[in-house]
Amino acid sequence: MNQLKKRDTWGSRLGIIMAVAGSAVGLGNFLRFPAKAASNGGGAFMIPYFISLFLLGIPLMWIEWTLGRYGGGFEHGTAPGIFHSLWQKNRFIKYFGVIGIFGPLVIFIYYAYIESWTLAYSFFSLAGKYRGLSDQAAMQSFLSGFQGLEKNQYFQGLAPAYIFFLITFIVNIWVIYYGIKGGIEKLCKWAMPLLFTFGIFLMIRVLTLGAPDPAKPEWNVLNGFGFLWNPDFSALKSAKVWLEAAGQIFFTLSVGIGVILTYASYLSKGDDVVLSGLTASSTNEFAEVILGASIIIPAAFVFFGPVDIQNIARSGVFNLGFVTMPLILNKLPLAEIFGFMWFSLLFLAGVTSSVSLAQPAVAFLEDEFDIDRKKAVAIFGAVSFILCQPVIFFLGRGVVDELDFWGGTFFLVLFAAIETILFAWVFGMEAAWDEIHKGADMRVPKIYKFIIKYITPLFLFFILGMWFWQEWLPIIFMKGVSADNRLFVLGTRIGLILIFFILGVLVRIAWRKKRKREEGFR
């Protein structure tokens, strides 16, 4: 019975901080952030970025840590149970919590495959497989061949990519199988320090780059940082820049997904969520603002100059990571070693994030259906493996973009808005404030009482309103989607609706079972 079942716990405060930081530090820190900053006003982008951090990111981090710990006290590790614990009189609120399982599952479906590319390229770097490639077209062809988008001299099919996907998928399932303390915490305790070590080495190497062409001394690292950080204040007039900055904060801190709720549910009532949440956020910001901004864009400026860097910054995260960066590293001594470090860094960032994405679904099966962890992981592994297949075989058909929009963008903001209203207005700000500070070694500044209650939800509703106003109809009617891809995008949407519906049915079944069990005790 659920009352007799002992839930997993974290082994130490360092373990939970490393795990939450590992969930937050992902591919977006080293690829998405520099691209967004460089293409949205440079240094001016950091103004809405830091405003979003202080008004959205940090408040939501504290909200999710607090809600997760609170729900864990009722033996709930996922949003349906946590939301129900907050508002027991509302019989429908648990269904809104389905988003907190749906979002991570959808992101995991495509994230695990992209993560496997970083593992493959780590081996390719050491083997010197792309060593002789010296221009964008050749490196792009190498990537397309590996992805199975074309057959060429480098790859004749999808088999190599699929093998690395299988290895990556097995690594994820293996870590999740061993639980919170024995799997996720153990992984993050060694993976995060190694990740930062690789990042610092690469940053130092970039900082010591000289101008490669004596005839173009202006192509140097200092000017590369200038390109990234010199502000174009006219960009602040664009709503798009503000939305991009807010979106980056969501993406980078992993808030609004449901992962932190689950991780925090394994805390005890006396564990500090204020300092731990702030420490995890600070660790992530160091990885993003210091390391992420100091590697790829400044290095690309040195080798490609002020003209090509504009196109590079806007070329997308895949091209930045798998085309531009290998070309840069090929120009350095010890290219194989630095290439291995770069892609290993990305793999470690990816795997610490993907295991966190898997945990809400596993915790839901454990907590609400009383399924033991081995069986829960087996069910998750089988279902998610099947769901990954369309991403692999229909990569060039818009499937990933569709999954990313709904799982990693729209529902992320919607979920954040719901949990903020529940926390500040349903649970009540006074009760919430007391709950935040249970076991806390430091006090949250009182201004955040006002921010969490008023500013954060208004900011979230503004973002949602802007999306509905600017993008809703074009997205629904698939504007910009090629005629060849529309059937695949439609199929993806139908699949997402089915996943959401099935999760909703599972929540209903779980609560019916629970009600019958409670009636049996009376």
Summarised one tens digit per residue, pLDDT across range 347-397 is 999 999 999 999 999 999 999 999 999 999 999 999 999 999 999 999 989
Give pLDDT, residue 263: 95
Give domain status of residue 78, yes or no.
Answer: yes
In this prediction, what percent of the chain has a pLDDT beyond 70? 98
Q: What is the mean pLDDT of residues 413-424?
A: 94
Instruction: Give the pLDDT band of residue 2 (cuts 50, 70, 90).
Output: very low
Summarised one tens digit per residue, pLDDT across range 3-25 is 446 788 999 989 999 999 999 99
User: Which domain, by its residues, includes 50?
Assistant: 2-378+407-464
User: Given the structure tokens 């892609």, which residue do they identify?
Assistant: 343
Count of structural domains, the chain: 1
The residues facing 231 across adjacent strands are 42
Taking CA 384 as the corner, what is the angle to CA 501 and CA 121, rounded to the nearest 5 degrees? 140
Is the predicted pLDDT of residue 137 greater than 70, yes or no?
yes
Give domain status of residue 499, yes or no.
Answer: no
Give pLDDT, residue 5: 60
What sign does the dihedral 303-305-307-310 (CA atoms) show?
positive
**Calpha distance 232→229 (Å, rounded):** 9
**Calpha distance 489→396 (Å, rounded):** 11
DSSP per position, 98-138 = THHHHHHHHHHHHHHHHHHHHHHHHHHHHHTTTTT--SHHH
**Calpha distance 409→248 (Å, rounded):** 10
Torsion angle in degrees (nearest 10) through CA of 393, 395, 397, 398: 140
Give pLDDT, residue 521: 62
- Residue 418 sits in a domain of what CATH number? 1.10.4160
Work out the number of other CB atoms within 10 angstroms of the CB of residue 62. 24
Give domain status of residue 100, yes or no.
Answer: yes
Helical H segments across 320-372, by residue range: 325-330, 335-369
Give domain status of residue 506, yes or no.
Answer: no
Instruction: Give the pLDDT band of residue 79 (cuts 50, 70, 90).
Output: very high
Which residue has better confidence, 413 or 502?
A: 502
Give pLDDT, residue 245: 86
Give domain status of residue 481, yes or no.
Answer: no
Give domain status of residue 471, yes or no.
Answer: no
Summarised one tens digit per residue, pLDDT across range 174-188 is 999 999 999 999 999
Is the predicted pLDDT of residue 197 greater than 50, yes or no?
yes
Give pLDDT, residue 3: 47
Burial class (CB in 10 A: 0-12, 13-18, 19+), 301: buried
- Arithmetic mean of pLDDT over the chain: 91
Give domain status of residue 511, yes or no.
Answer: no
Is the predicted pLDDT of residue 116 greater than 90, yes or no?
yes
Give pLDDT, residue 267: 93
Summarised one tens digit per residue, pLDDT across range 213-253 is 788 888 999 998 988 888 888 888 877 788 788 888 988 89
Give domain status of residue 73, yes or no.
Answer: yes
Is the predicted pLDDT of residue 270 greater than 80, yes or no?
yes
